[in-house]
Amino acid sequence: MMNTPIASAALAAALLSATALQAQTLDKPLVSAQELATLLESEDVAVLDIRAPEGSDSYAEGHVEGAVNAPYALFRGPEDNPGQLPSEEQLTETLRNLGLTEDRPLVITYQGSDETDFGAAARVYWTMKSAGIDDLAILNGGLNAWTEAGLELDDAAVTPQPSDITVTWDDTWTASVDDVQAAIDGETDTQLVDARPESFWKGEQAHPAAARPGTLPQSRFFVHSSWFSDGPAIVDAEAARKLAQENDLIGSENLISFCNTGHWAATNWFAMSELAGIENVKLYPESMVGWSNAGRDMANAPGRIQHLWTQIKNVF
């Protein structure tokens, strides 16, 4: 039987779809230490080690074999606004220097010292996904889980071959100031979810770079550490979905996750979007530091004297 043009087109589309599925090496957003070790034996997988803050020798002292040193600060803003996004040009230069490409699977590794530490990996994951790399995952539990599994660390520095990737930011998962304001004004069906501990949401604590304590009007809090049940490893997809349902995080047309600088908020975004599978979850990257310093309206903001007392308590 002679193939018709329509049948041929359908066959070609099916083949392309099958090829795309085969190319997706990382079929879930979290990998265990043993899963990563097995992957590295059989697949060409890029690994980033996002530790090594200034003055640290953590990368030199040991990392997953083949991992490239990529300190978290590369993907963050300046000290007075850490949540600020680097420009597309800056990200393009960074990703090229790290040897990253859109078609090579990527695993992000971090220390795994506590729940807060996971936020760095989640923020880099969110950045990479928005930058066009969608075949990616996080090593659940970080390097601590790797060594606890009896796997060895390597101390050989890796110099990547620069790539020619060009970043075009996809804002599907990014909440703008206008998105936040529209949610506050009731123009959209949006939950504003504060990932910080309740004391921040109540205005009893504030980030040092924030203009004042407080939270976004119309927001609720769901602390980022809620997604961890036993140590620094985040829960799996089934548990995340159940937790999201129990806490009414499912149902709104949109969700916007925020915190102080888009760090803890990245954990909430990752858990809701990538694990629980909730659609239309966005991260507000600059969060309360950017919002407060812009002089925008806030809720639970203390008066002048109470604010001064809060500053004194935060120092001591």
CATH number for the domain that contains residue 200: 3.40.250.10
Q: What angle do CA 312, 313, 316 make, to 5 degrees?
A: 90
In a domain, residue 7? The reply is no
Instruction: Identify the three-state secondary structure at position 174.
Output: strand
Query: Do 153 and 32 belong together in one domain?
Result: yes
In a domain, residue 17? The reply is no
What's the confidence (pLDDT) of residue 115? Answer: 95
CB 203 within 8 A of CB 300: yes
What's the confidence (pLDDT) of residue 16? Answer: 41
Q: Give the residue from 127, 120, 124 showing the smallest Cα distance to 232.
A: 120
Query: Do 223 and 261 belong together in one domain?
Result: yes
CB 277 within 8 A of CB 197: no
Looking at 146, 169, 192, the residue that finishes a domain is 169
Looking at 112, 137, 169, the residue that finishes a domain is 169
Looking at 169, 189, 204, the residue that finishes a domain is 169
Query: Do 149 and 276 belong together in one domain?
Result: no
Through-space distance between the first and last CA atoms of the chain, rounded to whole angstroms? 83
The whole-angstrom separation of Cα 126 and Cα 57 is 26
Query: Do 47 and 116 belong together in one domain?
Result: yes
Q: Per residue in 216-269, pLDDT tens?
A: 999 999 999 999 988 889 999 999 999 999 999 999 999 999 999 999 999 999
Residue 290 token pair = 């950017």
In angstroms, the Cα distances linking 221 to 72, 215, 248, 260 are 26, 9, 12, 12
In a domain, residue 273? The reply is yes
Burial group, residue 145, by CB count within 10 angstroms (0-12, 13-18, 19+): buried
* pLDDT beneath 50, residues of the chain: 1-22, 305, 307, 316
What's the confidence (pLDDT) of residue 7? Answer: 44
In a domain, residue 305? The reply is yes
Q: How far is CA 137 from the centre of its chain?
A: 11
Whose tokens are 């996750």? That residue is 257
Query: Do 86 and 72 belong together in one domain?
Result: yes
In a domain, residue 18? The reply is no
Query: Do 146 and 83 belong together in one domain?
Result: yes
In a domain, residue 271? The reply is yes
Query: Do 36 and 163 belong together in one domain?
Result: yes
Whole-model pTM? 0.89
CB 241 within 8 A of CB 275: yes
Residues spanned by the domain of 179: 172-315
Compute the half-sphere exposure of residue 105: CA atoms within 13 Å on the CB side of its CA: 23
Query: Do 160 and 85 belong together in one domain?
Result: yes
Query: Do 162 and 227 belong together in one domain?
Result: no
In angstroms, the Cα distances linking 179 to 17, 188, 274, 281, 289 are 34, 9, 21, 12, 17
Query: Do 203 and 78 belong together in one domain?
Result: no
What's the confidence (pLDDT) of residue 55? Answer: 62
* Domains held by the chain: number: 2
In a domain, residue 43? The reply is yes
Query: Do 114 and 189 belong together in one domain?
Result: no
In a domain, residue 2? The reply is no
What's the confidence (pLDDT) of residue 4? Answer: 45
Query: Do 108 and 152 belong together in one domain?
Result: yes
